[in-house]
């Protein structure tokens, strides 16, 4: 899995049937040091996450191991909103508890 | 999934039987910022997309999770034409509604 | 899928049983612009292609979706000889029709 | 598989149900020469490893081939704590036997 | 598949049960030109290969398609010792027939 920040949304009305109902986010990679890293992915959401949140995402066939992505042509899934992570004893990131999460 | 632009077509008459009937496009990668990125992929089409369109594609085993690619040796699939995407509140791309889509 | 050129062959007599009978080629990557790109792969052949041909290959689990690679530890498969491809209206490559294909 | 060092932990309370109970570590890549390499991964733990340990991890669908990750959306798994490895006759790394392993 | 040279061994006693009995090698990548390339992988052995040999390895789910790796969390497998390969008519590598292979 990798850490990323949800920075935007992708809208596609003309799509394969099995993608119906999935929320698609643009997720920019974040390094283990908490800084922006190169690369992005468009990931489906399985946890009701929202723009601005720092999340954990998985890629490949593992992205289909959730009830919302089972048997769908999805190769990237957001499966957790990150509360905090640390590196060698230092807290790299802590979620702003005052922020709202978009549960849909 | 990643965002790309369909820039061309690939023709192969001497191919493995299970590829018969698939439309194969050359898709150039586009960054989250809407600019051309390095790399390309040859992807099968599952939605009747056409050259010039900006699309969403998936890779790996997930590319076989559509009715047109099931059990075929395909590792990249176009599964949506993108209408629009935004990053941090800015609209990065909006599909030109006057453009025609090649539904075949 | 990616485009590559078959540049050589690999011979292995001491190998896992399930690889018996597979033809293994060295395939160098070609960019969408038709120029040599970095990287190579050793791919199994499913279409009777030969050295010098420009081909389409797939990687990962999709490489096992042909009758010759089913249930084998193969992660790259040549599944089509390319006749031609174009980018933004320009023909990038056309197969030399006078060339012979090694059907074995 | 690749070699990495567990450098931190990731906490996510708002996550997909099937991730419940998994320990998630930040693993920084180590080169075959034993030096820090670029890149990291967030991997699930299957062996009761702990921060500071040098481990072996697998990615992709193979990460689901353990009892703790079966059918879960996990694409990276720690499946062994490394005792030692050598390159061309030189011992590159030997685990400090006095260190404690967090078996949980 | 890719070509690599077995340069060392990895020892892990504290590991997930399903890895028991597998021989794990450090394999350094070799370019199609026969020169050292960047990157390495830790691969399981399925053919009784030994340190110093030049081998073919597969990654991803294909690495589980051998009797020794079936259903195991292994994402890289050595499945052939290379005798020789050629590029554009030139022999790049030929195995030293006087060398011993470690059949275990």
B55-91 pLDDT, tens digit per residue, is 999 999 999 999 899 999 999 999 999 999 999 999 9
* Residue of chain B minimizing CA distance to A16: B79
Q: Which residues of chain A neighbour D42 with C-beta distances below 8 Å?
A: 1-3, 56
> Closest partner residue to E15 among D59, D61, D79, by Cβ?
D79
Closest chain E residue by Cα to residue C51: E88
User: What is the Cα–Cα distance from A17 to A19, expressed in whole angstroms?
Assistant: 5
A102 pLDDT tier (thresholds 50, 70, 90): very low
State pLDDT tens for residues D1-45.
999 999 999 999 999 988 999 999 999 999 999 999 999 999 999
Token digits of residue D25: 């570590």
Q: Cβ C2–B72 below 8 Å, yes or no?
A: no
User: Closest Cα to residue E42, out of E61, E17, E23?
Assistant: E23
Which comes out higher in pLDDT, residue C101 or A44?
A44
List chain B residues with CB under 8 Å of A14: 47-49, 80-81, 83, 101
The Cα-based distances of B93 to A24, B42, B57 in angstroms read 15, 22, 16
**Residue B64 DSSP label:** G
Nearest CA to CA, how far is A29 from chain B (Å)? Answer: 11
- Record: contact A15-B86, CB cut-off 8 A: no
Report, as an integer, the average pLDDT of B34-51.
96
Helix, strand, coil percentages in chain C from 3-state DSSP, rounded to 5: 10, 50, 45
Q: Are A61 and B63 within 8 A, CB to CB?
A: no
Which helix or strand (DSSP H or E) is residue C44 part of? Answer: strand C36-45
* B92-101 tens-digit pLDDT: 999 987 655 5
- Contact predicate C37/C31, CB 8 Å: yes
Q: Residue D41's Cα: distance from chain center in Å?
A: 9
Sign of CA dihedral E69, E74, E76, E78: negative
Q: Are B99 and B81 in contact (CB under 8 A)?
A: no
Percentage, residues of chain A above pLDDT 70:
92
In the predicted structure, residue E21 carries a pLDDT above the cut 80: yes
**Homologous superfamily (CATH) for D2-94:** EutN/Ccml (2.40.50.220)
Distance from CA of B4 to the nearest CA of C (A): 13
Using CB atoms, pick whichever of C7, C71, C72 lies closest to residue E87: C7
Average pLDDT, whole number, for chain B? 92
Residue C2 has its nearest CB partner, among B14, B16, B41, at B41
Contact criterion met (CB < 8 Å) for D87 and E26 = yes
ipTM of the complex: 0.90
Nearest to E81 by CA among E41, E53, E39: E53
A68 interaction partners in chain B (CB closer than 8 Å): none
* CA-only gyration radius of chain D, Å: 14
Contacts of C31 in chain B (CB under 8 A): 40
Residue recorded with tokens 């279409």: C47
Give this prediction's pTM.
Answer: 0.92
Cβ pair D76, D59 in contact under 8 A: yes
Q: What is the pLDDT of residue E99?
A: 53
Is residue C37 less than 8 Å (CB to CB) from chain B? Answer: no
C16: tokens are 């896992």
CB atoms within 10 A of CB E102: 13
Contact (CB<8Å) B42/C56: yes
* Cβ neighbours around A79 below 10 Å, total: 30
CA B94 to mean position of chain CA atoms: 16
Query: For E37-56, what is each residue's pLDDT tens digit?
Result: 999 999 999 999 999 999 99
Which helix or strand (DSSP H or E) is residue A73 part of?
none
pLDDT tier, A96 (very low <50, low <70, confident <90, very high otherwise):
confident
Contact at CB, A41 and B1, closer than 8 angstroms: yes
Give the residue from chain A lying closest to D40, CA to CA.
Answer: A32
Name which of E82, E28, E23, E38 is nearest C42 in CA terms. Answer: E82
Average pLDDT (D47-61) is 97
The CA-atom distances, in angstroms, between A97 and each of A27, A81, A83, D62, E65 are: 21, 12, 9, 35, 46
For residue E18, give the nearest of D61, D66, D86 by CB distance: D66
Decide if C42 contacts E78 (C-beta within 8 A). no
E-chain CB neighbours of C12 within 8 Å are 56, 80-83
A29 vs E36: CA distance, rounded Å: 30
Residue-level pLDDT at E45: 96
D58, D82, D83: residue with CB nearest E75: D58
List, in order, residues 6 or more apart from D44 with CB less than 8 Å away: D22, D23, D24, D25, D63, D68, D69, D72, D74, D76, D77, D78
Give residues 43 to 72 of C whose Cβ lies within 8 Å of B: 46-49, 56, 58-66, 69
Residues E1/E2/E4/E6 CA torsion (nearest 10 deg): -20
Q: Mean per-residue pLDDT for B3-7?
A: 98
Residues C86 and C43 sit within 8 Å (Cβ to Cβ): no
- Identify the residue among E80, E87, E91 best suited for mutation to test binding to C, counting C beta carbons within 10 A and taking the highest: E80
Stretch (H or E) spanning D103: none
The whole-chain average pLDDT of chain D stands at 92
């Amino acid at each position: 899995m990798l850490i990323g920040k949800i920075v935007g949304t992708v809208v596609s009305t003309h799509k394969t049937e099995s993608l119906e109902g999935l929320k698609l986010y643009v997720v920019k990679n974040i390094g283990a040091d908490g800084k922006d890293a190169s690369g992005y992915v468009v990931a489906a959401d399985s946890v009701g996450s929202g723009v601005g949140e720092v999340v954990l995402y998985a890629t490949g066939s593992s992205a289909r191991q959730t009830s919302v992505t089972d048997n769908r042509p999805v190769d990237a899934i957001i499966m957790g909103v990150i509360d905090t992570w640390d590196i060698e004893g230092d807290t790299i990131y802590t979620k702003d508890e005052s922020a709202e999460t978009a549960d849909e």
